[in-house]
């Protein structure tokens, strides 16, 4: 990512030639485009979650952590790449070398840990719903995020002592590069530790957890069809139980569909993380064993663009796969239709069971968020209506909310 990876110790540099005009134009345009879109998108994710109360869920807190990490990668790695294409050398000085290198690795490692954290949160919420009521809470998510950033911040402090400005002496010019302070061979254990801890282990863990999640959400039979269920209840208990059965089955099916949508979105984030980081991670590992490192300029640009794209594409995924994020983005940009303050003229009923809610794999925080995401409508209470509480009903409780 940074210039420290581009040169080997005791390498004969020969004559230095500047980048071609074609390379400069392509690299500057693509890097500026990807980083610009990514910075705007990740800032919007942060603003949407922080300023919208119903968006503050445990999963979205992890997505904010991921957005902050992606912003670090885009600004600390992407933008310096533009000056490298223009000038061919490091222009940010000694302090810039230390700080930018530190922020690069901090963003990379924090994004990996954030992805691992929301995967574990999804697994607990869906596969262990009873524990999720106590473990998958907003306050616990905040504590985990603080722990993640504390760990990665302390882990990356070593780069303040391992990086330094280096002069690259060519036959025709001397250039300044942000390089290694000691022999490059001493850095191999660090690179392989990063590769294992922040790439291989998270991917293996997420693959296993999403496999277990898929077994619950996708391989288990769906809730009974409302029509067939109603027929069965009609035979057994009459019209009244038939109506309750239809409502309960519809709600169960809706909740399951919503959970699948959220899980699919997060799985796509993980898959893209694995694919887009693979070229750079593979290049570092391969070059560690080659006597002469493979440093093709265009391939290096491709590896860097994949990394920048990984940090920029997540808000696009949220917008494409989450109706809730899409509506929040439109509201933030003031480009969506304004909602009328008058009560809606339609009637809507929302029925759910407390027991079924806890047995389907979500805490109440998740239920509210994901039901809204699927329907895109908000149930309101008219003045003068009495709101039913769980204490007013028996277990399993059936709560019907309606608007006129």
Supply the pLDDT for residue 385: 45
Supply the pLDDT for residue 318: 92
Which of 342, 347, 339, 351 minimizes the C-alpha distance to 404?
347
Partner residues linked to 399 by β-bridges: 352
Measure the CA angle with vertex 314, ends 312 and 315; round to 5°: 90
| Separation of alpha carbons 25 and 23, rounded Å | 6
Residues 6+ apart with CB under 8 A from 274: 203
| Separation of alpha carbons 266 and 272, rounded Å | 10
Supply the pLDDT for residue 256: 62
| Separation of alpha carbons 357 and 395, rounded Å | 12
Supply the pLDDT for residue 395: 39
Length of the chain: 404
Question: Would you tell me how many other CB atoms lie within 10 Å of the CB of residue 182?
Answer: 11
Task: From first to last of the 404 residues of the chain, give the pLDDT tens digit.
Answer: 544 444 444 455 677 788 889 999 999 999 999 999 999 999 999 999 999 888 999 999 999 999 999 999 999 998 899 998 888 889 999 999 999 999 999 999 999 999 999 999 999 988 998 988 888 999 999 999 999 999 999 999 999 998 889 888 887 788 888 887 877 677 788 888 899 999 999 999 999 999 999 888 877 644 444 444 444 444 445 444 444 444 454 555 556 676 778 888 999 999 999 999 999 999 988 888 888 878 889 999 999 999 999 999 999 999 998 888 988 898 888 765 544 434 444 333 333 333 333 333 444 444 444 444 444 444 444 444 444 444 444 434 333 333 33
Residues 6+ apart with CB under 8 A from 124: 131, 132, 135, 136
- Domains observed in the chain: 3-223+251-333 (1.20.1070.10)
Coil vs helix vs strand at 137: coil
């Amino acid at each position: 990512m940074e210039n420290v990876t581009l040169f080997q110790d005791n390498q004969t540099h020969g004559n230095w030639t500047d980048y071609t005009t074609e390379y400069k134009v392509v690299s500057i345009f693509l890097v500026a485009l990807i980083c610009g879109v990514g910075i705007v998108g990740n800032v919007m994710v942060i603003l949407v979650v922080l300023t919208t109360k119903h968006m503050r869920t445990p999963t979205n807190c992890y997505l904010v952590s991921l957005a902050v990490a992606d912003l670090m990668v885009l600004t600390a790695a992407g933008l310096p790449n533009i000056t490298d294409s223009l000038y061919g050398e490091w222009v940010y000085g000694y302090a810039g070398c230390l700080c930018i290198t530190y922020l690069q690795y901090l963003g990379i490692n924090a994004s990996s840990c954030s992805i691992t954290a929301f995967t574990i949160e999804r697994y607990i919420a869906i596969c262990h719903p009873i524990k999720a009521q106590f473990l998958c809470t907003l306050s616990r998510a905040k504590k985990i995020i603080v722990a993640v950033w504390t760990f990665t911040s302390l882990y990356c402090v070593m780069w303040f002592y391992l990086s330094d400005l280096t002069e690259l002496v060519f036959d025709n010019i001397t250039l300044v590069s942000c390089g290694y302070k000691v022999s490059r061979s001493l850095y191999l254990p660090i690179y392989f530790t990063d590769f294992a801890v922040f790439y291989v282990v998270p991917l293996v863990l997420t693959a296993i957890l999403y496999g277990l999640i898929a077994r619950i959400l996708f391989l288990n039979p769906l809730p009974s069809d409302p029509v067939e269920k109603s027929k069965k209840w009609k035979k057994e208990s009459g019209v009244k139980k038939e109506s309750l059965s239809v409502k309960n089955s519809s709600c169960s099916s809706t909740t399951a569909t919503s959970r699948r949508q959220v899980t699919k979105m997060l799985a796509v984030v993980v898959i893209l993380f694995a694919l887009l980081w693979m070229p750079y991670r593979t290049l570092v590992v391969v070059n560690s064993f080659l006597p002469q490192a493979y440093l093709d300029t265009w391939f290096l640009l491709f590896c860097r663009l994949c990394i920048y794209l990984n940090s920029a594409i997540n808000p696009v995924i949220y917008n494409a796969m989450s109706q809730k994020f899409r509506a929040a983005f439109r509201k933030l940009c003031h480009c969506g239709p304004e909602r009328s303050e008058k009560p809606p003229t339609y009637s809507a009923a929302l029925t759910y069971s407390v027991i079924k809610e806890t047995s389907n794999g979500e805490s109440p925080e998740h239920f509210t968020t994901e039901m809204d995401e699927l329907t895109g409508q908000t149930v309101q209470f008219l003045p003068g209506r009495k709101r039913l509480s769980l204490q007013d009903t028996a277990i399993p409780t059936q709560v019907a909310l309606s608007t006129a």
